[in-house]
Amino acid sequence: MDRNLLLSLVKKYESPLYVYDADKIESQYNRMVTAFSSVKNLKINYAVKALSNVNVLQLFKNLNAGLDTVSVQEVQLGLKAGYNPKDILFTPNGVSLEELEQAMKLGAQINIDNLSILEQFGQKYPKVPVCVRMNPHVMAGGNSKISVGHIDSKFGISIHQLPHIHRVVENTGMLITGVHMHTGSDIYDVDAFLRATEILFDAAATFKNLESIDFGSGFKVPYKEGDIQTDIEELGKKLSKRFNDFCKTFGRDLTLMFEPGKFLVSEAGQFLVNVNVVKQTTSTVFASIDSGLNHFIRPMFYDAYHHIENLSNPKGKKRFYTVVGYICETDTFGVNRQISEISEGDVLTIKNAGAYCFSMASNYNSRYRPAEVLVKGGKGYLIRQRETIEDLLRGQELVKI
């Protein structure tokens, strides 16, 4: 996005401020559609948890995407954004039967990730189509915090428990129409991912009423110059051929499904912050900003790298700064980063702020969550107002004890 546009937005809406580029989101979506264009039935379900603003959901609806949801509240957000319930897949982890029933009654498609709930659901609702989430026991990407397909993961039904799934189906007469896996985030080894797909293909072949195969997502995007990323075009070429061959063997055309979040919105987001103070210690120069882990926890939670630039002085002399927040915790955004010389009052931008940034924000230290702006065609639209003290107090009640 244009530097002057970003500076004008932060002047208008103040900082800290999340800004998303709608054109970039559309570009990433279309890139994925093109990569799998040889597949007859393709459905991309945007992972709501990555960025759940209803305006972003509406943007994906206009692109003909479905939604991947992990809570009944996300299902409700999808309905609020205008989605047909049949285009909403409910893929929670460890939720109660009651929450699955709530999502079912709202019309969402159900995906179940454990044998206990599968059996209970099948006994009560044998005619309701269900997808099952399997764990292929393949580490296809990222570190242990973001890889969910390994053998010790809480996610999914072990691929080794496939006979148990069929026993439940036989005993209840329930209808399994989809199989699903998700190996985790930051997949850069296409061949490792394809090995996991072979495991799911083998399992899929054992379900006679199958309508779809969902390979999850986790496709990696670059976080800095020269960074490794998933070659979506290579993956599209190889997996599309394998999928089409499977459909021929299976005897009918199935739907190929994905649930990308980060791939679609990460690069579209920037987080604009103001420098409160530049602090020189005996060994470090700190640039302390008007935000912290309450707004942007990924560097602290995942050790994630996010590139930082000085919008106010882009051509200034490079110096080393450790960028930190204003929360009473260790909330470090970057250590010894080379950034154009920073002065108090400068506006910095933190890149790749579209995925798992605002959606993981909190009111820790009783700080307000920031505003959000969506940019389309060079114009910014306020899609979430900055919080106020009334928002912090909403739901609280002073009582006499």
- Beta bridge pairs of residue 308: 350
Q: Please report the beta strands in 6-156, taking only residues with DSSP state E, as ranges in sequence order.
A: 17-21, 42-47, 66-69, 88-90, 109-112, 130-135
3-class DSSP assignment, residue 109: strand
Question: Is the Cβ–Cβ distance between 335 and 322 less than 8 Å?
Answer: yes
- For the record, the structure tokens of 23 come out as 């054109």
CA distance linking residue 74 with residue 156, whole number of Å: 20
Bridge partners of 213, per DSSP, are 179, 256
Q: Tell me the catalytic residues.
A: 328
**Rounded distance between C-alpha atoms, residue 162 and residue 93, angstroms:** 18
What burial class does residue 244 get, using C-beta atoms within 10 Å of its C-beta: 0-12 exposed, 13-18 middle, 19+ buried? middle
By residue count, the chain amounts to 401
Beta-strand relationship, 130-135 and 176-180: parallel
Residue 380 near residue 55, CB atoms below 8 Å: no
Helices 190-204 and 232-250 pack at an angle, to 10 degrees, of 20
